[in-house]
Every structure is written in structure tokens, then in C-alpha cells.
Amino acid sequence: MVQGHLERTHLRLRSTQRGSKVQAIITEINAWAWGVPMQVLLLGTGVFLTAGLGFLTWIRLGLAFRMLASGRSGRGEGDIPPFRALMTSLSATIGTGNIAGVATAMTLGGPGALFWMWLTALFGMAMKYAEAVLAVRFREQDDQGGYSGGPMYYIKNGLGPRFAILGSAFALFGSMAGFGLANTVQSNSVAQVLADQFQIPWLLTGALLMLLVGAVILGGIKRIAATASAIVPTMAVAYIAMSSVVLILHWEMIPSALSTIVSTAFTGASAAGGFAGATVWAAIRFGVARGIFSNEAGLGSAPIAHAAAQTNEPVEQGLIAMLGTFIDTLVVCTMTGLVIMLTGVLESGISGASLTAMAFGSAIPGGELVVTLGVVLFATTTMIGWSFYGERCVVYLFGTRAILPFRVLWVLAIPIGAGTDLGLIWLIADTLNAFMAIPNLIALLLLSPVVFALSRDYFFARSRTDQSVV
């Protein structure tokens, strides 16, 4: 018996050692995947597309909002109105990254990290625009009548058979990554925050999330889009409103906070209180990384939703799509960052969602509940939105027969994530996200002439129409 116990103990030790080695290897791969080359490729692609488009993603921002306002009804082929396509996309991007990600970036990179998040978003808008343009241009209709699009389709139909392996790679990585960062990690975040605030057992949280998300995603893209259109605007406006209250209470400090954000982006942040200080490189690294994590520009996920839009004009959907990056980072993330700055909690030594909760709680009685509710809603909508992304990736690989099995597996994974230590799963999924981005960025660069030509033709025709009216 003693001998058996010793053998079992030895096996557990060997298993732990093997697990540590695996995690160490994946950590190294992750560091390489999201290292300097990837960040240069992402930002470089954004800069190239922005310049190639003549900065239309900045100049045409007003037009994009007008199109969004008129996009509640569809005007062409597709499954859902353009407005609902954007809400579906935002349901997947406005998540814990807007609350915890911003706080983490500023903790590790100093206030200047927020500046680099802004820069990532400004150039990321061009990537989101190009992704949606190509998604609508090269989408397909499946045997059930649904519209499928995204990187795998514009790679296959735009670049041809020689690049088919890139489309399959994107679909494979996308379908796998979703179960990590967009499913189990999100349910785990909800379970943890509800347990901390209200002592709700993780099993109950997991079961309720499974029923809620399952009821939505089993209805397909139309029910997902309808749910997103109801929840996303409400939760975004509510979060912005509460953040605005904090800004109004500290309005006299806003100019100083903005000055600090800009100056530390180029000089670094010195140590003070519980804050360890940060170099310029840290500000750039964590600002860019968390910015991309939040708005997903360049990853290739959002165009899967925009491909389902009821429109025959790729450029118009591209203009609507780029608003996702603007709203996610330049509005919501900025609000979070300013609240943290104005309330003076950055030097507390706390990070993540706890830091954001402390910031709201110090300014508004019960303000930490805003963060709790935000995490719950944002994480839940991320699970719903990303389920469609994963489903379309699976359809590309295996056909429509895989839809129901995928939806069932997606729902069943939710309670597992709620009560499991997901350190290794998070790391693997984050690495797979980087592997998703690579084929998408290659496609964006190679198909950029198509994007430029479609944009040029659209705005030329639009200008001629305006002149004829005059």
C-alpha cells in the first residue's frame, strides 16, 4: 500500500512537471506570436491601409455615423440589417478588455499605454473597414440560405486556390480560439466576479449562463443579432453615462490627465506609491497589445458578422464596420482609462478589473457594482457574438452539418469554464488568436488593391450623384 502511494505520488509529480514544461513552451510561443514582429505587422498594415485609402476612415467618420443611423433596415441581400451586423460585432469586441484590459495596460505600461491604444484604434479603423469591404465582396451563400464570409472566404475567392491553406488555417484557429478567450475564459470571469461580490456559487452561474447563451445562439444569427442590438447599445450607453458622471465630478483634472497620458507615452512613467513605473517601450507594448485585444482590428473576427449584412454595397458596410473600433477603443476604453486616471487609483498596486472597480467605487457610492454589472454583461455578449464567429469557421471546414454539434459543444463548455482554472487554456487561446491574425493580415495586404479600387469607384460615383443633384 505504501509502495502504491509512493508510485502515485511520483506519477503526480511527473505529471505536474510535464504540465509546467508544456506551459513554459506555450508561454514562449505566445511571447513570439505577440512579440515585436506581430505588433509591427498589425500597426504597419493599419498605417498602409489608412494611407492607401487617403485617410478616408478619418475623413468619412461623419458619413459612417449617418449610414449607421439609416442601417436599421436592410437594402440588399444578406441575413441581418447593417446596424445589427455592427451590434453583433460590438457584442464580441466590447468585453472584459474594455474594463480589465485597459487597467492592466495602464498598470504595466503607465498612463501612456492609453495613448498607444488610441493610435492602434486610429489605424485599426482602416483594417476593420478593409475586412468588411472584402467580407461582403467575397461572401458566399450556404446550402441553408445563410451568408458566410470573412477571411477564409476572401482568401479563397479573392486570392485563389494557391492560398487556400491560409483560409483553412484561419478557420481552424478561429474555431479553436473561440472556446478559450470567448467562451470559457468569459464564463470564468463572470463566475469569479459574482462569487466575489455576491457569493454566488460558480456552478449556479455556469448553469444560468449556459441556459441564457444557449437560448440565444441556438436561434442562429438572426436571434444573436436581435439580442445584440437590444443589449449592446444599452450597456454601452449606460457604461459611458456612469463614466461621464465621474469625469464631470473631476472635470478640472481632465486637462492634466490628458497631458500626462500623452507625455508618458514618449517619456515613460516614474514609480510612485504602489506603481512600479514603466518605460516607453512598456507603454507601446502593452498599449498596442491591449488595444488589439479589445477592438480585434486585424484579427479577422468582425468581418464574419459584417458578411451577413443585408447590403449590396461593400464600401457602405466597411464604413459602418470601422465604427466598431472607434466606439470600442476611442470611446469606451478611453472612458475607463480616464476614470482610472482622475480617481488617482493607478498607483494603488492593484490591476485588472479590481483596479477599475476601485476607481468607480472611490468616485461614486456603490460604483464598484457598475464594474460588476459591466463584466457580466460584456462577457455574456462576447460569448454570444463569438459563437457565430466560431460557427462560420466550422461551416467553412465541415459544412452546415456541423452547425448543431458546434452550438451544443459551445453551450456545454460554458459551465466547465465557470469552475475551472483556465491559466493554460487562456494562454493557448491567446496564441491561437495571433495565429488567426497572420493569414488575415496577409490577405488584407495582398487584396488591398481591391479595397482601394472599390472605395475609389464608390466615392467617385457618389460625387457624380451629388453633382447631378446640384
**3-class SS of residue 297:** coil
**3-class SS of residue 383:** helix
Mean per-residue pLDDT over the chain, rounded? 85
Task: Say if CB 120 and CB 292 are below 8 A apart.
Answer: yes
Torsion of CA 448, 326, 85, 185, to 10 degrees: 100
Q: Is this prediction's pTM over 0.75?
A: yes
Choose from 97-111, 204-218, 292-306 the range with maximum mean pLDDT.
Answer: 204-218
Contacts of 252 (CB under 8 A, 6+ apart): none
Distance, CA of 175 to CA of 392 (rounded, Å): 8
Provide the pLDDT confidence category of residue 306 given band limits of 50, 70 and 90: very high
Task: Give yes or no for residue 362 having a pLDDT over 70.
Answer: yes
387-438 pLDDT per residue, tens: 999 999 999 999 989 999 999 999 999 998 888 776 777 777 778 888 889 9
CATH architecture group of domain 57-453: Up-down Bundle (1.20)
Q: Of 19-23, 86-90, 241-245, 452-456, where does mean pLDDT reach its minimum? A: 19-23
pLDDT of residue 103: 85
pLDDT of residue 233: 87
pLDDT of residue 3: 39
Which position has the grid cell 491553406? 165
Contacts of 457 (CB under 8 A, 6+ apart): none
Task: Give yes or no for residue 25 having a pLDDT over 80.
Answer: yes
Instruction: Provide the residue ranges of all domains of the chain, joining segments of one domain with +.
Output: 57-453
Task: Give yes or no for residue 5 having a pLDDT over 80.
Answer: no
Task: Say if CB 89 and CB 302 are below 8 A apart.
Answer: yes
